[in-house]
Amino acid sequence: MSRIHKLSVCTAAVFASVPFAAAQDIQAERERWALHARGGETQLAESVAQLGNLYAQSGDAKVRADLIALLMRQGKPEEALAVCAGCAPETYSADELENLAKAARDTKQYPQAAALYRQLQLAAPQHQTGYLGSALVAVDSEDYAAAQQQIEAYRKRFGEDKGIREAEAYLKQRTQSLTGRLAEQQRLHEADPANRDHVLQLYRTAAQLQLFPQQERLMAQYPDQFNGQDRLWLQAAKSAALLRGARQTANPAQIRAAYAGLSEVVDKTEAGSPLHTQALRDRLAAAVAAGNEKQALRDYRVLAAQGEQPDYVQDEYAKALLMAGSPHRARKVLHGRMNRQMAAQGKLDPELVELLVESDTDLMEFTQTQEKMKHWNPKKYTPDFTHTVEVENPYYDTQYFWNARIEAWNGNVKGAHKLMKNWLDEHPADPWAMILAGELSQMDGHEDRALARFDGAREYLGEPNQKWVDGKAAAAHLAAGNWRAVDDLSKGLSRDDISHRGFWQLYDEERAARLEIGGTVMKATSPEDGSEWAQTAKLYSPRSSSGHRAYIVQQHNYVPNHGEPLRAGRVGAGAEINLYPVVVNAEAGHGTQLNDKAYGTLGADWRVNDFVGFTARAAFNSANTPVKALWQEVYADEYTLGAEYTHSAATRAGIGAGVMKFDDGNTRQTANAWLSHDIFQHNRWKLGGSLWADYSRNKDIPSAFYYNPENSKTVSGELAFSYTLPLDNNVKLVQTAGGSVGRYWQAGHQAENTWQIKYRHDWSFGRRATLGYEFGRRQAMYDGDLEYQNFGAANLSVKFY
């Protein structure tokens, strides 16, 4: 509303720089430099410098006024105010007051600006700027009552004009709600429909309120006021608003629509333009919401090339990295966010804490996770915004549930169950607690218990959330092997719904075609012999929706036999038939090399319940027939039974018995028992142990070339210490060092101690491939004699989907 006052000059002439010492007339010198300033930016700077010198030596008020005016023309309000910082307002001329008041307002020195405008009213009461400026500065200072008084005083003195209407609009803009401002702008627009400024102001306020229909109507009524970019801005805003609502309601169709709308804007705008950048940022968030982390990461790479991105974009980027299995990179991003937020406000937002917790749990650094959780308020109740009333802490249950999960992941499933039992004792109708309790049961190997929990939760949930529970139940049936139930539930689960993402990943993984290759090698070093090795390759077809699948298999065995090597193998085909709770396996084929007969196996696995399962196998020309027996053209049929008890995921036990009938009249009877237990886990470290005992008895067959003791017994115990290293890009390495000791008895020979040490790597590359290998050394017994052996093993599994 203010202006830079025009300067008067007395004369114009051609001149050059003249030292002040040579000037005889201060006013002539002043006017000369004032005129010189009109020549351009260079001349303006020269004039400011010379007038500054002239004022410093003369203290002349007119020189001061021209110097202040030229500094304002240069856009240097701070320097204008410093020309005579100690001068009282009443010593200034009206022109100086106007310029200095504007300078003070431009630099947000509102009290000084108000004082200067008040003095301008006194010095030049006929001057509109004094009253108009006072009103605007009062608005800037949020002294709205004073602003209204100044506006009324202006109208009494000068009447109605454009300047005071704009000042009043400025006041209303600062004091009215958006809806009030919209009503006022709508009134102005209706009073003057042809006024372009009113149309644009109304459109902008409608945009702030996200009144998209009104924006579209204005665009249709005034097509010449808007261009294609404006329409794309509107489309981007509508898509972003749709995305926000869809994320809150978990509506996958709306998320896809928002993604499509933002993609169209991205494709139609120039890279690097403000609209393109904003649409790309929003599309990144839409891609994360849609479960398309690959697209989100591509979008972020484009944005990162443009410079540092806002924190909300960094958060979405971190989410995409976690979805892509890159927790190290995600944590680096989130720790940067954490440091900035702590520096800015001294605390962390709860949403950021949850992302930090997720990244630390993916890295299996549970101790650090629990430290991060301390940033959440642990109290059940918290003061409201008035600090007079306590309300329920919305993050109390979030923290409690995360703590239960972390206890379970860190090996204390029993403690996690206790936490959830305590919660459900206090909140018996909490469906989310029932679901988490079910997840913990499934983690502990008890799928039936998990399903019971999920069924109980359904009673307290609406239809959309019941579908989400169906996904949980389907995953539990999948773990149990109940493919009929999986098929029934999966028909109602949309692949486009990100809440079912975890189930569909498991489903696709379990149904995928698969190639499994494994091999072992052993070399006796004392007494020395060649390397004995065995290799198996099996290719599975994709599973049917009922859980059935076929496969082909090839096996090969090599025995050095002290320089006279023996080789035998087999090639066959088989099928797994899922008749839950029984799974039937049938395989048939033909031997190779020393194994010159057909073979066949038939077996069944029966899952009785969460705790007990049985197995039964029958095989003619068994794969366990010793190669040395085949060299003698001795074949064997085998029959086995087994039972397994699952106390928890950490503790399992089993027993087994078998009979092998050889063609040479031998009958081998075997029995075994075993126990495995996870002793300890802390973050990435785990210590596991196992016990094993077996017994075998054979008939005395003097012609048997194969190993055939009258009877033998073995007991052994093993400890395995492992460290899991999560890497980025869904890669994980588990390193395991193990050792065992035992005792071996064989009829007719002295009992001996046995031992073994080994080291192993297990790699997983996403969900599609695993690779494992190990090597070690052991002391074993063979036919009553001690042997020292080096050994190794390797296995590869690749899934195709």
Residue 453 sits in the same domain as residue 428: yes
Indicate the residue among 468, 490, 509 that finishes a domain.
Answer: 509
User: Does the pLDDT value for residue 546 go beyond 90?
Assistant: yes
Q: How far apart are CA 520 and CA 533, in angstroms?
A: 5
- Using a CB cutoff of 8 Å and minimum separation of 24, what contacts does 277-282 make? 277/303, 277/306, 278/236, 279/232, 279/236, 279/239, 281/309, 281/310, 281/312, 281/313, 282/236, 282/239, 282/240, 282/243
User: Does the pLDDT value for residue 13 go beyond 70?
Assistant: no
pLDDT, position 390: 72
pLDDT, position 19: 42
Residue 503 sits in the same domain as residue 579: no
Based on C-alpha coordinates, what's the Rg of the chain? Answer: 42
Q: 570 — phi, psi (to 5°)?
A: -160, 155
Q: Please report whether residue 95 resides in a domain.
A: no
User: Does the pLDDT value for residue 677 go beyond 90?
Assistant: yes
| Percent of residues, the chain, with pLDDT higher than 90 | 75
* Cβ-based neighbour number of residue 502 at 10 Å: 12
User: Does the pLDDT value for residue 507 go beyond 90?
Assistant: yes
* Cβ-based neighbour number of residue 440 at 10 Å: 23
Range of the domain at 496: 391-509
**Tally of structural domains, the chain:** 2
Higher pLDDT, 139 or 763: 763
Banded pLDDT at 212 (limits 50, 70, 90): very high
Q: Please report whether residue 273 resides in a domain.
A: no
User: Does the pLDDT value for residue 250 go beyond 90?
Assistant: no
In 400-411, which positions are buried (b, 16+ CB within 10 angstroms) versus exposed (e)? bbbbbbbbbbbb
Please give the single-letter amino acid code of residue 720. A
pLDDT, tens only, 639-667? 999 999 999 999 999 999 999 999 999 99
Q: Please report whether residue 740 resides in a domain.
A: yes
Handedness of CA 626, 632, 635, 641 (dihedral sign): negative
Q: 370 — phi, psi (to 5°)?
A: -65, -30
Average predicted confidence (pLDDT) for the chain: 92
3-state class (DSSP) for residue 674: strand
pLDDT, position 9: 33
**In this structure, what token pair is assigned to residue 123?**
């010095």
- Cα dihedral angle (103, 106, 110, 115), rounded to 10 degrees? 20
Q: How far apart are CA 493 and CA 488, in angstroms?
A: 10
Which of 550, 575, 580 minimizes the C-alpha distance to 487? 580
Range 246-252 average pLDDT: 86
Q: Please report whether residue 622 resides in a domain.
A: yes
**In this structure, what token pair is assigned to residue 486?**
């999986």
Please give the single-letter amino acid code of residue 724. T
In 72-101, which positions are buried (b, 16+ CB within 10 angstroms) versus exposed (e)? bbbeebebbbebbeeeebeebbbbbbbbbb
Residue 441 sits in the same domain as residue 545: no
Q: How far apart are CA 754 and CA 743, in angstroms?
A: 6
3-state class (DSSP) for residue 56: helix
Residue with the two structure tokens 């399962």: 613
Higher pLDDT, 87 or 297: 297
3-state class (DSSP) for residue 492: coil
Residue with the two structure tokens 């709600």: 177
Residue 431 sits in the same domain as residue 517: no
Q: How far apart are CA 770 and CA 750, in angstroms?
A: 43
3-state class (DSSP) for residue 76: coil
Q: Please report whether residue 115 resides in a domain.
A: no
**In this structure, what token pair is assigned to residue 599?**
């073979």
Supply the pTM of this predicted model.
0.79
Residue with the two structure tokens 């004792």: 425
Residue 743 sits in the same domain as residue 694: yes
- Could you tell me if 53 and 64 are in contact, meaning their C-beta atoms sit under 8 angstroms apart? no
Of the candidate ranges 19-23, 465-469, 575-579, the one whose mean pLDDT is the lowest: 19-23
Which of 275, 340, 290 minimizes the C-alpha distance to 314? 340
pLDDT, position 388: 66
DSSP 610: S
β-bridge mates for residue 645, sequence order: 612, 653
Handedness of CA 587, 592, 598, 601 (dihedral sign): negative
Residue 468 sits in the same domain as residue 541: no
Residue 460 sits in the same domain as residue 566: no
Residue 767 sits in the same domain as residue 670: yes
* Cβ-based neighbour number of residue 534 at 10 Å: 18
Please give the single-letter amino acid code of residue 260. A
Higher pLDDT, 695 or 380: 695
Q: How far apart are CA 511 and CA 519, in angstroms?
A: 25
Banded pLDDT at 386 (limits 50, 70, 90): low
Handedness of CA 10, 16, 17, 20 (dihedral sign): negative
DSSP 710: S
Q: Please report whether residue 632 resides in a domain.
A: yes
Q: Please report whether residue 539 resides in a domain.
A: yes
Q: 775 — phi, psi (to 5°)?
A: -150, 155
CATH of the domain at 598: 2.40.160.40
Residue 422 sits in the same domain as residue 522: no
Residue-wise DSSP of 447-492: HHHHHHHHHHHHTTS-HHHHHHHHHHHHHHHHHHT-HHHHHHHHTT
**Gap between the terminal Cα atoms of the chain:** 69
Indicate the residue among 509, 544, 561 that finishes a domain.
Answer: 509
pLDDT, tens only, 714-753? 999 999 999 999 999 999 999 999 999 999 999 989 999 9
Of the candidate ranges 142-146, 204-208, 281-285, the one whose mean pLDDT is the lowest: 142-146
Q: How far apart are CA 100 and CA 77, in angstroms?
A: 8
- Could you tell me if 51 and 18 are in contact, meaning their C-beta atoms sit under 8 angstroms apart? no
Range 537-564 average pLDDT: 96
| Percent of residues, the chain, with pLDDT higher than 70 | 96
Instruction: Name 413's Cβ contacts closer than 8 Å, sequence gap at least 6.
Output: 407, 440, 443, 444, 648, 649, 650
What Cα–Cα distance (Å) separates residue 571 from each residue in 17, 74, 587, 619? 105, 92, 10, 15
- Could you tell me if 644 and 613 are in contact, meaning their C-beta atoms sit under 8 angstroms apart? yes
Which of 512, 443, 445, 482 minimizes the C-alpha distance to 605? 482
Instruction: Name 456's Cβ contacts closer than 8 Å, sequence gap at least 6.
Output: 431, 434
Q: 719 — phi, psi (to 5°)?
A: -120, 140
H or E segment and range at residue 551: strand 549-559
Residue 676 sits in the same domain as residue 768: yes
Indicate the residue among 465, 487, 509 that finishes a domain.
Answer: 509
Higher pLDDT, 82 or 615: 615
Of the candidate ranges 105-114, 447-456, 588-597, 727-736, the one whose mean pLDDT is the lowest: 105-114
3-state class (DSSP) for residue 235: helix
Range 293-297 average pLDDT: 97
pLDDT, position 3: 38
pLDDT, tens only, 510-532? 999 999 999 999 999 988 888 99
CATH of the domain at 411: 1.25.40.10
Of the candidate ranges 35-44, 215-224, 384-393, the one whose mean pLDDT is the lowest: 384-393
pLDDT, tens only, 752-788? 999 999 999 999 999 999 999 999 999 998 877 899 9
Q: Please report whether residue 575 resides in a domain.
A: yes
Which of 433, 446, 786 minimizes the C-alpha distance to 649? 446
Residue 604 sits in the same domain as residue 484: no
Q: How far apart are CA 740 and CA 773, in angstroms?
A: 18
pLDDT, position 11: 28
Higher pLDDT, 797 or 31: 797
Residue 546 sits in the same domain as residue 401: no
